[in-house]
Chains A and B, each alone.
Chain A
Amino acid sequence: MTATTSEKKICVPGERLFADGEEHRSGKGTHSTHGFIYAAVAGFLHVVPSPIGEEKASTVEVRRFEDDDHAVPFLGAIVTAKVLNIGSRFANCGEKIFKRSCSIVCVGNSILSHPFNAQLRREDIQATERDKVEVQKCVRPADVILARVIGLGDNQTSFYLSTAEEELGVVFGTSDAGFKLIPISWIHMQCSLTSDKEQRKVAKVPNLNLKTTSS
Chain B
Amino acid sequence: MRLPASSLPLSHFTQSSSGLPSHSDRQNTANMRPFFIRANVLESAKGSAYIEMGNTKLVCSVDGPKEITVSSDSGDAYSEGILNVRVKFAVFSHQERTVSDADAHRRIGDPTELETKLAANIQDGLSPAVCLDRIPRAQIDINCTILEDQGGVLSAALICASSALADAGIDMYDLVLSSSLAVVDNDQMIVDPSTTCLADKPISGSVTVALMPSLNQVVTCEQSGACSPETLRKAIRLATECCVKLHPLVQKALVTSVRLRSRPK
Chain A residues in the interface with B (C-beta under 8 A): 2, 5-6, 10, 12-16, 29, 31, 33-34, 38, 40-44, 64-65, 69, 71-72, 74, 95, 98, 113-117, 152-155, 158-159
Contact = CB atoms under 8 A, between A and B. Distances in A.
Contacts, number: 113
B137 to A, nearest CB: 6
Interface stretch (B9-17, B85-93, B207-215, B237-245): B207-215
B77 A42 contact: no
Contact of A114 (B67, B175, B213): B67
Nearest to A114: B66
B171 A41 contact: yes
B166 A155 contact: no
B227 interface: no
A194 to B, nearest CB: 37
Contacts of B215: 14, 33-34, 38
B260 to A, nearest CB: 11
The 10 A-B residue pairs whose C-beta atoms are closest, nearest first, are A14-B174, A114-B66, A14-B214, A13-B172, A40-B171, A154-B77, A42-B254, A12-B251, A42-B166, A10-B255
Contact of A113 (B46, B212, B250): B46
Contacts of A38: 173-174, 214-215
Contacts of B65: 71-72, 114
Interface string B55-69: 000000000111100
Contacts of A113: 46, 66
B147 interface: no
Contacts of A65: 262
B135 A71 contact: yes
Interface residues of B, number: 42
A193 B70 CA distance: 45
Given A13-B254, A31-B173, 10 more contacts: A10-B259, A13-B173, A14-B213, A40-B131, A41-B166, A43-B258, A72-B135, A98-B67, A152-B78, A159-B137
Interface of B: 46, 64-67, 72, 75-79, 81, 131, 134-138, 166-167, 169-175, 212-215, 250-251, 254-255, 257-259, 261-264
A69 B169 CA distance: 10
Given A14-B175, A31-B171, A40-B173, A64 B67 contact: no
Contact of B172 (A40, A44, A74, A98): A40
Contacts of B64: 114
A38 B264 CA distance: 28
A2 B172 contact: no
B173 A33 contact: yes
Given A5-B262, A38-B214, A72-B135, A155 B171 contact: no
B135 A13 contact: no
Q: Which among B81, B171, B212, B255 has the greatest number of chain A C-beta atoms within 10 A? A: B171
B259 to A, nearest CB: 7
A13 B212 CA distance: 10
Contacts of A15: 214, 251
29 contacts: A12-B166, A12-B254, A13-B171, A13-B172, A13-B173, A13-B175, A14-B175, A14-B213, A14-B214, A16-B214, A31-B131, A33-B215, A34-B215, A41-B169, A42-B169, A42-B254, A42-B255, A43-B258, A72-B134, A72-B138, A113-B46, A114-B65, A116-B66, A116-B67, A117-B67, A152-B136, A154-B77, A155-B72, A158-B67
Contacts of A69: 169
A201 B212 CA distance: 51
Contact of A2 (B131, B167, B175, B264): B264
Contacts of B171: 13, 29, 31, 40-41
A32 to B, nearest CB: 11
Contacts of A33: 173, 215
A159 B263 CA distance: 36
A159 B136 CA distance: 10
B12 to A, nearest CB: 43
Nearest to A28: B171
